[in-house]
Amino acid sequence: MKPVAEARDLARAAGAHARAAGRLLATEADHVRAVHLARRHIKRARSLLRALRPLAKPAVERENGFLRAFAHTLAPLRDAHALEEAARTVGARGNGPAGGERIDLAALGGALERQARVIARLAPEDAPKHYLAKAVARAYRKAREAYRAYEATPYEEEPLHEARKRIKDCLHLVEALEEVRPRGSAPKPGKLDRLGELMGAIRDLDLLSRRIERNEVGRAKLARIAARHGRLAREVTRVGAAVFDEKPSRVEAAWRRAGT
């Protein structure tokens, strides 16, 4: 991916991620790998488009809606694989892979590649001064607020889901801006990534626990899941405190000083 140094580069980078996702689905023989990597590219494309929303809201929301539809089509395949992985971590077994053969990945990939060309053309010719600094601070603030809401209700599904999405938005934007990111400044991509992965592991355990039968064998599995869940939750608390220690206003100021 080409580096992002200006606001107009965000749309081109989003288009490049959408195109990469389409090519994976259309050409990769390993469907598990194709779906996993394609979903990662789609998430990055959507995050970068959200950063452009103040400049082109109707167009951004339209294209983000298309990308959301692509991601939702692939979600059952990803969830089936994730459940298998989560089951192995606690010594259990999942239900096996979902029926991915019912989805024409090649056709889906072709449609996504065509959509990528539209996304890349959303690039605005100009943007307000310090737009990228404001975009980073806005993404960081939303992630921070969503994480605080999750902390208040850690056992509810929706706050966890929302926090993960906003953390990924912030991560993907900061990663795309690596060339212009102020050295040592928050938010730090490594910590954001770690937090997102930990919360994703919690989500997979929650999904797995719902599928285990409530009999004697199942209760033993649930006990192992609960123990791992507790360890992950404690690590989330530790990492989250470090990630969101800085105030959004100070994040924006640091990025402004770097000229973004």
Using 50, 70 and 90 to split pLDDT, how confident is the model at 77? confident
Q: Is the peptide bond before 187 cis (omega within 30 degrees of 0)?
A: yes
Query: How far is Cα 233 from Cα 189, in angstroms, rounded to an integer?
Result: 20
| Mean pLDDT computed over 85-113 | 72
pLDDT at residue 130 greater than cutoff 80: yes
pLDDT at residue 247 greater than cutoff 60: yes
pLDDT tens-digit map of 1-37: 777 889 989 999 999 999 999 999 999 999 989 999 9
Query: How far is Cα 153 from Cα 45, in angstroms, rounded to an integer?
Result: 29
**Burial class of residue 163, CB neighbours in 10 A (0-12, 13-18, 19+):** buried
pLDDT at residue 68 greater than cutoff 90: yes
What stretch of H or E contains 167? Answer: helix 157-176
Among 113-117, 159-163, 211-215, where is mean pLDDT lowest?
Answer: 211-215
pLDDT at residue 100 greater than cutoff 70: no
Mean of the per-residue pLDDT values of the chain: 91
Report the 10 Å Cβ neighbour count for 61. Answer: 12
pLDDT tens-digit map of 215-243: 888 999 999 999 999 999 999 999 999 99
Q: Are 137 and 252 in contact (CB under 8 A)?
A: yes
Domain boundaries, the chain: 1-127, 128-260
- Which of 89-93, 121-125, 245-249 holds the top average pLDDT? 245-249
pLDDT of amino acid 240: 98
Among 9-13, 85-89, 128-132, 140-144, where is mean pLDDT lowest?
Answer: 85-89
What stretch of H or E contains 24? Answer: helix 8-27
Whole-prediction pTM value? 0.89
Using 50, 70 and 90 to split pLDDT, how confident is the model at 97? very low
Among 36-40, 72-76, 95-99, 122-126, where is mean pLDDT lowest?
Answer: 95-99
